[in-house]
Amino acid sequence: MSAWSKIMECVPNFSEGRDLAKIEKIVDKFRAKAGVKLLDYSNDEDHNRLVVTVVGEPDALKDALLEAIGQAVELIDLTKHSGQHPRMGAVDVVPFIPIKGCTMDEAIALSKEVGEKVAALYRVPVFLYEKSASAPHRENLAAIRKGEFEGMAEKIKLPEWKPDFGPAERHPSAGTVAIGARMPLVAYNVNLGTANPEIANSIAKKIRFIGGGLRYCKAMGVELKERGIVQVSINMTDYTRTALYRAFELVRIEARRYGVPVVGSEIIGLVPMEALIDTASYYLGLEDFSMDQVLEARIME
């Protein structure tokens, strides 16, 4: 991997978190490929979702992704899918993140290449989002996904929601997909000691930017039925400008009004070291601490 001149990251989300055989078939498309490294994958049964983190040289990464997307379109039928996480496609979202030796413009160009191919090969309509968006109202993934798979049958026929690539008709079983380029995102969930979903939803509305909360924070309430608790599921879209500890503390402050404790938190997938160091520095009260003092960071220079 160190010999790669360009490193692009991709974190595709697939709408399958329960059938392990299907999950392995999808993930297998990223294994043993030259120019591609599978870093992580995690499935969540409550969300019924698979999140894969993969890095690679742009062209090799593109080829592996197209194989995985094709496999997911073949295996996942959204007419029989249910889960806590909103979804509009078998492959729900495919973000590209420039990591080393490549720019955001290159990530945008790659997202458009992949989008065009997905539409041509699999007849799945593609919306470009975030930095790749073709119009301001398409930048926010939540706005594109609103109505989910079921609502997209009619929504996609509206002129303002004509897909960027592919037919203006929802794929009968695989739905639609959002593909784009963005900054590194941290998927961070805070678990609450209650089974009341209204509390999680209320807190999520207060902490997310659109509700007057933290600038680079998106959030929603989720039930974890097997554990008998609820969760504030958070996407931190720019951890360098809104730190993880701020989201955690704001959830705790808002939960206090309901007499509900925070019982834990979790990070889904991979997280930049800097995001954790920043939070550790805050809770330890470290003075004038920098990433240069982290042993592993210095070794990797």
* Nearest C-alpha neighbor of 229 from the set 207, 197, 259: 197
The question of whether 85 is a catalytic residue gets the answer yes
The answer to whether the beta carbons of residues 103 and 141 sit under 8 Å apart is no
Compute the distance between CA of residue 90 and CA of residue 93 in angstroms, rounded to an integer: 9
Q: Which two tokens stand for residue 86?
A: 């909103």
Q: Strand, helix or coil at 179?
A: strand
148 in the Ramachandran plot: left (φ > 0), alpha (ψ -120 to 50) or beta? left
134 in the Ramachandran plot: left (φ > 0), alpha (ψ -120 to 50) or beta? alpha
Active-site residue, from 47, 81, 85, 171: 85
The answer to whether the beta carbons of residues 181 and 110 sit under 8 Å apart is yes
Compute the distance between CA of residue 61 and CA of residue 48 in angstroms, rounded to an integer: 25
For residue 155, count other CB atoms closer than 10 A to its CB: 18
The answer to whether the beta carbons of residues 10 and 60 sit under 8 Å apart is no
DSSP bridge pairs for 9: 55, 97
Q: Which two tokens stand for residue 10?
A: 């991709």
**Catalytically active residues, by annotation:** 85
